[in-house]
Amino acid sequence: MSRRNSISRTISRTVSEEWKWEQHARILELIDRKLPDLLPEDDMLHSISLTIEIDPIGGVVGGSAFFDANESPKIITILHDFEWPITSEGYMFKQFYLIDRRL
C-alpha cells in the first residue's frame, strides 16, 4: 500500500468516525446565524458548496465556498469559528448542501 493511500485511509477513517449529522446541522446553523441574509426565507432551493482545508490542529487554513454558484468568502471566514475535528495530518472537507426552507 502506498503512503498516500495509507494517509488518505487514516484521515478518512479518523474524520468519518467523529463526523456526525449533527455537525452538518451545526455548520448550517452557524452560517445562518452569522449571515442571516444569506439564506432567504423563500420557496426556492439554494445550494452551498464548501471545500475547506483544515490544518493538523483543527483550524481553517483556506478553501472556497459558494452560495447558489456565487463565491462567498464570508462563509469561509465564518467557518473559522467552527470546531473542526482534529487529526495528526490535517485534511480537506468537501461538502455540498441543498437547502429547502419549505421543509
Share of the chain above pLDDT 70, in %: 78
- The yes-or-no verdict on residue 3 having pLDDT over 70 is no
Number of domains in the chain: 1
State mean pLDDT over 24-33: 90
Residue tagged 449533527 (cell numbers): 22
**pLDDT tens, position by position, 54-95:** 988 768 888 999 999 999 999 999 999 898 888 888 889 999
Q: Are 9 and 62 in contact (CB under 8 A)?
A: no
The yes-or-no verdict on residue 18 having pLDDT over 70 is no
State the chain's maximal CA–CA distance in angstroms: 50
In sequence order, which residues have a C-beta less than 8 Å from that of residue 42 and are 6 or more positions away?
101
Do residues 93 and 51 make contact, with C-beta atoms less than 8 angstroms apart?
yes
Q: What is the residue range of 76's domain? A: 3-100
Query: Model-level pTM?
Result: 0.75
